[in-house]
Structure 1
Amino acid sequence: MRLPSPLVRGAVGACVVAAASLVTSVVPESSWVASLPITSELRATLPGRMTGLTFMVAGLGLMVWAWLSVGRDVLAGVRHRITPLVIAWSAPLLLTPPLFSRDAWSYAAQGALVAKGFDPYAVGPGALSGHIVEAVDPMWMATPAPYGPVPLAYGGALARLTLDPYLLMLAHRALALLGIVLIAWAVPRLATACRVDPTIATWLVVANPALITHGLGAAHNDVLMLGIACSAFAVALTGHWGTAAVLAGAAAAVKLPGGLVVIAIAAVMSPLARPRLRLASLAIAGVVAVVTLATIGELTGVGSGWLSALGVPGLVRSPLSIANLIGLGAAALLSWLGENTAAKQALQLVRLVGMLTALALIAALGLRSSIHNAARAVGFALLAVILLGPTAHDWYFVWSLPFLAVARPGRRLTTALVGTSTILTIAAPLNSSLRGALIPTLVTTSLVLVVLATLLPNLPTLQPARPARVPATTV
């Protein structure tokens, strides 16, 4: 029996994920999803929710299987049209509730704060009432927004037209879709400039189920940040580094880590990597980006108060952050030894050391990287922020994906990127939506392990049969 094509398998998987989201995703009680005849009954019972989670993991498994199948062909030199695959795998998720995370409901509420004249950097969604806050995670009800002025101004403008949380969520998903379009435009250009096969890079990044599900499905504004940052690098390679630095500031105006693309812009400005020239280039590009960031804040009326709220994500003690793991371990040991005061300070101290280490690594990458390694430098700088910062969510790892994928990845790095993407996609249902639910967490973990055990053995076969490079082009 002949298997359906990867396009069909991935599309079916995406449809299954979309249907399962009607059961598993947190939605406002006033929304149309909450009153659907069949899924609303499934949502109301534990067996029903477990059914939804089972289908969710199965659908994600189909998407990853289809992606790996395409990758085996692409890495072997078989030509594939990636764009139709991305469209087919993404379209079913456009109108669904947000997958795996409730952040999109916070975006909607923060936009409503702006529309009603509140300062989103001083108060949280708890200052509002009604349908707009029905699905906001209680953890974030009293916290200010840690995001830049772009998504807040955008959300505020739309909230003046409607306060329907579902419509506002879809509007933020449109920003994520724009981000994917920008990534799809930039990645082939970056790959060609770095002498990497653009088809392989596009498969690894744009068709990546982690980007599609976490980025588009969950409607995270990280995708817009990433799309603008990738575009900034691509524009810099055409010689328009001033425009590129402005775009870097715009990326930071979505989320601050996007501004790290100035490392690559500076490498374009001074490709010989002489320390003085590189430092001057970093300073010039950085100043332009910072001025752009401040200007956007003033023009939108949102301001720069978000800088004081950057510590808000650190309220989540994510085990994906190395700094968190070390800090929590040290705090537990000191508490066991009876040093309660020191235990309380240990986590903050380790987090501070982690950020200082990340800054030192970023400085070294910015000063020493050549133009051919600029993409790798940005990718590793973003990884440093993720792993050594105060918190790390699973979708944060997508930040570094486009830059590492075009940085002439060898066998080990390619396998690491594919393996990490596979794990982050299949394990996505274990995110915050299951927090505190013991039985669903255990059952979902078991399902995830079964699917991963089926898919991960395929990774050693995903190796290029020839060097994944193309002739150099003039940029």
Structure 2
Amino acid sequence: MAGGHGEAILAGLLGLAGACLVVATAGRLALRSGVELPTDWFGLLIPVQLDRASALPAFMIIGVALLVIGWLQLCLLARRGSVSLSQTGIIIAVWCLPVAVGPPILSLDIYSYVAHGAMLTADLNPYRNGPDILGNQPSLLASDPVWRMSRAPYGPLALALLKAAYGLSGGTVLGTVLILRALALAGVIVILGCVAWAADPRRRPLALAAAGSPVVILQLLGAVHLEAIMVALLAAGLLAARAGRPIASMMLLTAATAVKWPAAFAIVAVAVWHAGTPVPGTRPRNTGPPDAHPPRAWVWARLRPVARDVGVVSASGLVLVLLIPDGLGWLRSAATPASGLTLYAPTVGLADGLARLGDIADMKIQFAQALNLTRTAGIVVTAGVMLRLLATIRARNLAATVGWGLLTLAVLGPVLYPWYLTWGLIPLAMATDRVRMSLLGTVSAVGAFLALPHCELLFANLPGATPWLQRQAPVIAISTLFLVLISVVILTRRRDSWSTTTLKR
């Protein structure tokens, strides 16, 4: 146990050093030309010259790597039973501390949230116009230029929270950022608590360690993405379903969907689960011919949960839609993120491969055409996986069903951002007694390295390097992801084998 204690301290120190490095670099690297922030956050948001080579991306990558290594070490210690639940929680809290007090990192999305809150306060509709309608207000100037003309893809609850945060801050960008960071921190705490509570008592340290992954710490807390709120409500809803509280479960899941729409799959999964749950005293008796219809009481017992769930979702959804004007407008703009292009997404990598094969075979396949094809195929495959999961829902843990479905949607969707992975990773962490930790570790480790900003600054002084990297980005990204995946699996298996041998001795 003494050895395990020393290893836990080492894991904690590695993760802390990594988190501090990321906080010191990833906020500056997330900045773009034309962005004017309200503060430099004690020097941590001083703009970087984007036309000169810089070592900052190297330090950022090293920081992410240290955090990933420390986290994988913690997961292995928890799997061996070498750390307690409280020790695991303390280590994760230590990693979260610099991220929670530091500036927003890795992304400028939070400033778009501020702009949407400002729009609602000014009686402007974020579902019809982009933040550019604000003019030269500070909330617009701080937002990412890429999304200034884009309509909000978030649900009415999300926008209501953004409006409330903007109002409470007195209409200041920095104040709104601080309030949203506090909400994100509360969301992460709820996520960790729900995952630990849902797990088997003997595996709670492992479940908690799995939930405190670098993706959660860096993207949900550090970058302050709305997934912190959505996934917290999702986890709470699944926990309520597990505790046999269907009304509370459906209300929480509806609220999660009103933040971001992918949570709707959880509503369907839980409703199907409720419909298939036997009700005591209503099982039909074998008193008629084999083809006789089941008794009405038994049929009603099956339909009653469906009617209840539909009623709760409808009533809750109506209340949430009324929180803001044009509350259903988000259905028109839900596809806004798909207008972007993430070069490391499997659908993009496959489209790039098809276009290259077309050039070799002289078939003249345009990348745009191939991308439409692969994105459509991704949606079809995702729908098939979800239907299969629903059809076999009694064969696995409910949280695992939701996790697999949402993880498939995140990976095979039109775009892939690392914070999307938390849709599925957190439900899967809630079912750690049924899910291989090697998969969670691999996906989380790979996801931690996605969307790291301005890494091309490492090669800014090399003529032609940046254009070449941009042309080969899909191939490089997919190849790198596979190498990371294989490396994590091999290292995990070797460490597990070493740990097993040591324990036997």
Classify the TM-score, shorter chain. Answer: 0.7 to 0.9
Q: Is the 8 A contact 1:321 1:386 kept in 2?
A: no
Q: What letter matches 1:6 in structure 2?
A: A
Alignment partner for residue 188 of structure 2, among 150, 169, 180?
180
Contact 2:54 2:458 in 1 (8 A): no
- 1:372-451 → structure 2 map (5 Å cutoff): 372-408=396-432, 413-425=436-448, 427-428=449-450, 430-431=451-452, 433-434=453-454, 439=459
Q: Deviations over 1:301-339 (max 9, x none)?
A: 451100110111111233454444445655777796457
Q: CA deviation at 1:109?
A: 0.8
Contact 1:65 1:455 in 2 (8 A): no
**2:164 equivalent to 1:147:** no
Residue aligning to 1:258 = 263
1:127-166 equivalences in 2 (<5 Å): 127-128=133-134, 129-160=136-167, 161-166=169-174
Q: 1:317, 1:16 → 2: CA distance?
A: 28
Query: Counterparts of 2:175 and 2:487 in 1: how far apart (Å)?
Result: 36
Is the 1:320–1:387 Cα contact (8 Å) retained in structure 2?
Answer: no
| Deviation at residue 212 of structure 1 after TM alignment | 0.4
Residue-pair matches, total? 451
Q: Which amino acid aligns with 1:460?
A: R
How far off its partner does 1:434 sit? 2.3
Aligned residue identity for 1:126: D
- The CA distance in 1 between the partners of 2:126 and 2:459, in whole Å, is 36
Q: 1:139 & 1:46 partners in 2: Cα distance?
A: 19
Match of 2:286 in 1: none
**TM (normalized to structure 1)?**
0.82
- Change in Cα spacing, 1:354 to 1:12, as seen in structure 2 (3 Å) is closer
Residue of structure 2 in register with 1:57 after alignment: 61
Q: Does 1:102 align with 2:108?
A: yes
Structure 1 residue corresponding to 2:321, chosen from 268, 275, 297 = 297
TM-align CA RMSD: 3.7
The structure 2 residue matched to 1:249, chosen from 229, 251, 254, is: 254
Q: Pick the aligned partner of 1:197 from 203, 210, 231.
A: 203
Alpha-carbon distance, 1:43 to partner: 2.4
1:113-154 residue CA offsets vs partner (Å, 9 max, x unmatched) = 111110000000111123212232222111100001122111
- Give the structure 1 partner of residue 242 of structure 2: 237
Return the alpha-carbon distance in structure 2 between the equivalents of residues 110 and 435 of structure 1.
29
CA shift, 1:82, in A, is 1.8
Instruction: Say yes or no: does 1:32 pair with 2:56.
Output: no
Does the CA-based 8 Å contact 1:196-1:408 persist in structure 2?
no
Distance 1:95 1:460 in 2: 36
Q: 1:24 to 1:346 in 2, by over 3 A?
A: closer
Pick one of 81, 88, 99 that aligns with 1:82: 88
- Greater CA deviation, 325-334 or 402-411? 325-334
1:264–1:377: 8 Å Cα contact kept in structure 2? no
In structure 2, give the amino acid aligned to 1:57.
I
- Does the residue aligned with 1:370 lie in a helix, a strand or coil? helix
Q: 1:386 to 1:265 in 2, by over 3 A?
A: same
SS in 1 for 2:83: coil
Q: CA 1:271 to 1:399, structure 2 compared with 1: closer, same or farther past 3 Å?
A: same
Q: Is the 8 A contact 2:39 2:45 kept in 1?
A: no
Unmatched tracts of structure 2, length 5 or more: 1-5, 284-298, 461-465, 501-505
Distance 2:364 2:50 in 1: 44
Distance 1:39 1:313 in 2: 26
Q: For residues 177 and 217 of structure 1, what CA distance do their matches in structure 2 show?
A: 9
Q: Residues 80-135 of structure 1: CA distance to partner in whole angstroms, max 9, x if unpaired?
A: 32221121111111232322222111111111111111000000011112321223
Equivalent of 1:170 in 178, 181, 202: 178
Of 66, 69, 77, the match for 2:70: 66
| Distance change in 2, residues 1:286/1:358 (3 Å) | farther
Output the CA distance in 1 between the equivalents of 2:302 and 2:61: 47
Q: Distance in 2 between matches of 1:34 and 1:237?
A: 43
Cα 1:316/1:435, change in 2 over 3 Å: farther
Alpha-carbon distance change, 239 to 455 in structure 1, aligned in 2, over 3 angstroms: same
The residue aligned with 1:471 is none
**SS at 1:299's partner residue?**
coil
Match for 2:125 among 114, 119, 123?
119
Quick check: 1:250–1:289 contact (8 Å CA) kept in 2? no
2:222 is aligned, of 217, 220, 230, to: 217
Q: Measure the CA separation in 2 of the matches of 1:52 and 1:165.
A: 26
Q: Which of 207, 230, 233 pairs up with 1:228?
A: 233
Higher Rg of the two aligned structures: 2
**CA–CA separation in structure 2 for the residues paired with 1:280 and 1:367:** 20
